Amino acid sequence: MSIIQVEHLKSFFKTDEGIVKAVDDVSFELRENEILALVGESGCGKSVTAQTILGLLKSPPAMIEGSIKYHGQELVGLSNKAYHKLRGKEIGMIFQEPMSAFDPLYTVGDQAAEAVAVHSKLNKPEIRDKIIAMFNKVGIPEAENRYDEYPHQMSGGMLQRMLIALTLACDPKVLIADEPTTALDVTIQAQVLNLMRDLQNEFNTSIIFITHDLGVVAELSDRIHVMYAGKIVEKADVVELFDHPKHPYTKGLLASRLKREMKGQILPFIKGTVPRAFEFPEGCRFHPRCPHAMEICKQKDPDPVAFENGHVCSCWLYLKQNKTDGVESQ
């Protein structure tokens, strides 16, 4: 059963340099009690998708079209007041930089208490107890003492744990985690990922996990959606995607992962860079970087093709029209 349903979502921005099509006709669902990973390079639209779901984009300059339903309730066009009730309580968010999520002038406990108080009827001592219990749950040592400390007294890993704790203390049904481990060193990354999986199991939270790193989500997620230049180009269960990737971009991402047996060799990489959002190419947006690009790829955007097991890929290599048109490969 889906908890969030996104249909034909567009998030465009009017700028002096042109229209930025940050998210362009994106559709997906988040199912109850699953971890869905949105994966892609920087600038592919993952974070803007999350910010749109959370109603964080100001309109104008943002132009939002399409539909985002949370438990059937339409969020596109929702008032700020209604969003205020929803954010935190129903849909929580964890950002990449835990340090910037906390105000350096207040203790972490006071800030957590303020966030919880907005959405709860608990009194002050009850809120304090709840937050300390959550700090313990996410593995903060001496949680009671830490409650009264300031952000600068914590390591990055500890602050990220606290951010997860205070987000979960509001009992959200959905958690959107935007690159939550990117700013952390590798051992702390692994701890935070394990913690998120454990907490998801315990609280039955549905999670959208945003990352540029396919390796990070291999163990963590149930399904993966790969984004490129504002569009979702491939969707599949995690095992299916790793075993049978279809889109050339996904194959490139998988090939460029660091592997132990490649010691001393040059790491494969996807040539070129993600185009700037106001100058996406016509046709398939990946065509300037794609080793399989054909003439039709430069002219028309491929429709999604559905395979077995819910695997979906948007690429002319799998469209019948490509074969019947007799389009020649380059």
Q: Tell the smallest beta-carbon distance from residue 317 to ligand SF4 (Å).
A: 5
Near ligand SF4 by CB under 6 A: residue from 170, 207, 284, 312: 284
Q: Are 167 and 207 in contact (CB under 8 A)?
A: no
Binding status of residue 313 toward ligand SF4 by CB under 6 A: no
User: Looking only at residues 205 through 224 of this chain, which bind ligand SF4 when binding is defined by CB under 6 A?
Assistant: none
Q: Tell the smallest beta-carbon distance from residue 200 to ligand SF4 (Å).
A: 32
Binding status of residue 119 toward ligand SF4 by CB under 6 A: no
Binding status of residue 40 toward ligand SF4 by CB under 6 A: no
Binding status of residue 44 toward ligand SF4 by CB under 6 A: no
Binding status of residue 228 toward ligand SF4 by CB under 6 A: no
- Span of 44-52, 123-131, 172-180, 279-287 interacting with ligand SF4 by CB under 6 A: 279-287
**Max Cα distance, the chain (Å):** 72
51 vs 91: CA distance, rounded Å:
11
Query: 102 or 286, CB closer to ligand SF4?
Result: 286
Binding status of residue 300 toward ligand SF4 by CB under 6 A: no
Binding status of residue 92 toward ligand SF4 by CB under 6 A: no
Binding status of residue 89 toward ligand SF4 by CB under 6 A: no
Q: How far out from the chain centre does Cα 168 lie?
A: 17
Type of residue found at 103: D
Q: Tell the smallest beta-carbon distance from residue 254 to ligand SF4 (Å).
A: 14
Site track for ligand SF4 across 231-250, x = CB under 6 A: ----------------xx--
Tell me which H or E stretch contains 249.
helix 248-255
- Count of other CB atoms within 10 angstroms of residue 250: 23
Q: What angle do CA 243, 313, 287 make, to 5 degrees?
A: 105
Type of residue found at 21: K
146 vs 156: CA distance, rounded Å:
14
Whether omega for the bond prior to residue 60 falls within 30 degrees of 0, making it cis, is yes
Q: How far out from the chain centre does Cα 329 lie?
A: 34
* CA proximity to 21, closest of 281, 277, 279: 277
148 vs 108: CA distance, rounded Å:
7
Near ligand SF4 by CB under 6 A: residue from 68, 138, 159, 297: 297
Query: 34 or 301, CB closer to ligand SF4?
Result: 301
Contacts with ligand SF4 by CB under 6 A lie at: 247-248, 284, 286-287, 290, 292-294, 297, 302, 315-317
